[in-house]
């Protein structure tokens, strides 16, 4: 019964009231002491912290007068923290930026346009993947330099695959269709086992006591599940970048229905009660516990699978293809420079370093994340090969049909309504059509009436 909200709220309000008088609600994240400038660099992924700390150590060696505090804030709190930080002018100098939030940050004038700095420094932006760089540009402005990229692939438990008589090569060539389920559902049926060792397509299968599900699908907004099924079914989430949402079109609804069917009709996917945010275990944990044999996940989680599961016990394969072919979400992050940082010159130095081939190589070669500079991709693949994991599927996915993150100013509304409604869809308490209609109308309303 903590009065957390009211208190925080009151603090923010009081802060707003006082800002005019004192202009001092929380100091800036940076400080200057004895000629040394201290910058704050905020990130959200715990599994990437070590690699970025190593990169920062290099940076500090080359820039003795700049100290960098690496601050880790979990994704669930990250954007609230940024927004309240911006309100109280207590912001990190440099921070990870995501396309889902970029339009809003840009609109609010929180992120620096780097165009003139890139020009003055004579930076060669040709080294970056053009697809990635374009996402951070809008007209003549550039809000970040590509730091990394990610796609979604299948992660599987090797011994369960062997027990079901499936090969890694078969896993790379699965396909689905909404009517029969295709070879994808057939494979998942082999992988799904109830307490008596029966499969869902056998008589006497007990759907209430399943020991291992063929697949666990979990994503608070859809990036690792129904967006990908949607793309494989020809669904477009928006009519154009910054345009209207089109989530309730037949191709999208059919894809969502297919995912609901995986749970409720075919009984091959873990039910919503086990995969819904916020109570679900993480995907690496679900696989490690043996609750599911496969899952769809992004490469950012590879190190989590590595620490959760015994070495050599898991592998990576391509996503299945659907009626419209293959497809995965393709996304990437960049570092943003806070527009009102007290140390713009030092922050730009850090931004440049983090996006430099030297730093991206260091991070990629540690197997932490695919780099924004394509020529360094091999380093990431080699790092995982050395650990016995073939991560080619992520790269193949990025070279095939992809969709970028939806660009919109209504992202926060979209995320909130999707989480609310899709949790019920995966529990079988709401139809895909009703959820899609609701998400669509509320998110579209938020584009025009957003305050």
Partner 1 sequence: MEAYLLIGPSLAGFLLFLVVPIIGVFALSLFSWDLVGTPQFVGLANYRRLAGDGAAWTAVGNTVYYVALNIPAQTVLALLLALALNRKMRGGKVFRVLFVLPWMAMPVALGIIWTWAFDPRHGAVNHLLSLVGIAGPNWLTSTTWAMPVIASVNVWQYTGYTMLFLLAGLQAIPEQIYEAAAVDGVSAVQRFFKITLPLLRPSMFFVLITNVIGSFQLFDTVFVMTQGGPGTSTTTLNYYIYQQAFQLFHAGYAATLAIVLFAMILLVTAGQFLYFRKRTVYDFS
Q: Which residues bind partner 1 (CB under 8 A)?
A: 1-6, 8-14, 16-17, 79-80, 83-84, 86-87, 104, 108-110, 208, 271-274, 276-279, 289, 291, 412-413, 415-416, 419-421, 423-424, 427, 429-430, 450-451
User: Helices 377-386 and 392-399: crossing angle, nearest 10°?
Assistant: 150
The residue among 194 and 299 lying less far from partner 1, judged by its C-beta, is 194
Query: In the bound complex, what is the minimum distance in angstroms from residue 76's beta carbon to partner 1?
Result: 9
Beta-sheet strand order (sheet of 210-216): 193-194, 210-216, 292-298, 152-157, 314-317
Tell how many helices (H) and how many strands (E) occur in the chain.
20, 16
The least CB distance from residue 268 to partner 1, in Å, is: 17
Measured CA to CA, the distance from residue 85 to residue 96 in angstroms comes to: 14
CA distance 307 to 108: 39
Shortest Cβ distance from residue 1 to partner 1 (Å)? Answer: 4
329 burial type by CB count under 10 A (0-12 exposed, 13-18 middle, 19+ buried): buried
Least distance between partner 1 and beta carbon 207 (Å): 13
Residue whose CB is less far from partner 1, 235 or 256 = 256
Closer of 398 and 413 to partner 1 (Cβ): 413
Torsion-angle region of 340 (φ positive above 0: left; ψ -120 to 50: alpha; else: beta): alpha
Query: Distance of alpha carbon 317 from its chain centroid, rounded?
Result: 19
| Both structure tokens of 449 | 């009436």
Residue of 105, 110, 59, 48 lying closest to 300 (CA atoms): 48
State the minimum distance, in angstroms, from the CB of residue 115 to partner 1.
22
Comparison of 125 and 282: residue with beta carbon closer to partner 1:
282
What's the distance, CA 148 to chain centroid? 12
Rounded CA-CA distance 429/202 in Å is: 26
- Residue 249 structure tokens: 């079109």
Shortest Å distance, C-beta 219 to partner 1:
15
Cβ atoms of residues 363 and 56 within 8 Å? no
Taking the least distance from each CB to partner 1, the nearer of 216 and 247 is 216
Length of the chain equals: 451
Query: What are the tokens at 4?
Result: 């957390």
CB 296 within 8 Å of CB 184: no
Q: Least distance in Å: CB of 87 to partner 1?
A: 4
Pick the closer one to partner 1 by CB: 83 or 159: 83
**Nearer to partner 1 (CB atom), residue 116 or residue 273:** 273
Task: Pick the closer one to partner 1 by CB: 128 or 426.
Answer: 426
Cα 327 from chain centroid (whole Å):
16
Cβ distance to partner 1 smaller for residue 82 or 255: 82
Q: How far is the CB of 427 from partner 1 (least distance, A)?
A: 6
> What are the Cα distances from residue 117, in Å, to 66, 73, 371, 388?
19, 28, 22, 42
Rounded least distance, CB 434 to partner 1, Å:
12
Of 111, 93, 110, 88, residue with least CA distance to 23: 88
Residue 352 CA to residue 437 CA, distance in Å, equals 44
Find how far residue 373's CA is from the centre of its chain: 19
- Minimum distance of partner 1 from residue 40's CB (angstroms): 18
Nearer to partner 1, 316 or 337 (CB): 337
């Amino acid at each position: 019964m903590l009065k957390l909200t009211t208190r925080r709220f009151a603090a923010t309000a009081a802060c707003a009231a006082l800002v005019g008088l004192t202009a001092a609600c929380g100091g800036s994240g940076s400080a200057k002491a004895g000629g040394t400038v201290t910058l704050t660099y905020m990130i959200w992924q715990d599994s990437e912290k070590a690699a970025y700390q190593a990169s920062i150590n290099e940076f500090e060696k080359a820039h003795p007068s700049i100290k960098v505090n690496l601050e880790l804030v979990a994704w669930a709190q990250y954007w609230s923290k940024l927004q309240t930080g911006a309100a109280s002018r207590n912001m990190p100098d440099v921070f990870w930026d995501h396309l889902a939030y970029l339009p809003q940050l840009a609109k609010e004038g929180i992120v620096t346009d780097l165009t003139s700095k890139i020009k003055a420094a004579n930076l060669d932006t040709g080294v970056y993947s053009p697809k990635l760089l374009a996402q951070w540009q809008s007209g003549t402005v550039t809000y970040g330099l590509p730091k990394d990229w990610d796609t979604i692939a299948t992660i599987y438990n090797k011994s369960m695959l062997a027990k079901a008589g499936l090969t890694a090569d078969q896993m790379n060539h699965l396909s689905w269709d909404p009517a029969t389920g295709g070879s994808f559902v057939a494979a998942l049926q082999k992988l799904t086992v109830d307490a008596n060792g029966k499969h869902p397509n056998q008589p006497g299968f007990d759907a209430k006591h399943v020991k291992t599900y063929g697949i666990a699908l979990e994503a608070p907004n859809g990036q690792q599940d129904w967006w990908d099924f949607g793309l494989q079914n020809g669904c477009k989430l928006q009519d154009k970048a910054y345009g209207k949402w089109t989530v309730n079109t037949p191709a999208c609804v059919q894809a969502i229905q297919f995912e609901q069917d995986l749970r409720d009709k075919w009984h091959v996917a873990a039910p919503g009660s086990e995969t819904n945010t916020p109570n679900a275990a993480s995907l690496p944990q679900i696989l490690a516990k043996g609750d599911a044999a496969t899952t769809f996940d992004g490469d950012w989680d590879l190190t989590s699978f590595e620490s959760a599961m015994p070495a050599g016990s898991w592998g990576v394969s391509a996503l299945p293809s659907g009626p419209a072919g293959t497809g995965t979400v393709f996304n990437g992050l960049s570092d943003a420079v806070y527009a009102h940082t007290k140390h713009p010159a030092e922050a730009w130095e850090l931004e440049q370093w983090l996006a430099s081939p030297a730093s991206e190589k260091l991070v990629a070669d540690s197997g932490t994340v695919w780099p924004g500079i394509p020529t360094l991709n091999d380093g990431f693949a080699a790092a995982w090969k050395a650990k016995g994991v073939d991560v080619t599927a992520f790269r193949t996915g990025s070279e095939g049909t992809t969709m970028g993150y939806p660009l919109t100013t209504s992202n926060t509304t979209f995320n909130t309504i999707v989480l609310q409604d899709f949790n019920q869809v995966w529990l079988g308490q709401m139809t895909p059509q009703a959820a899609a209609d609701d998400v669509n109308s509320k998110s579209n309303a938020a584009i025009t009436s957003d305050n």
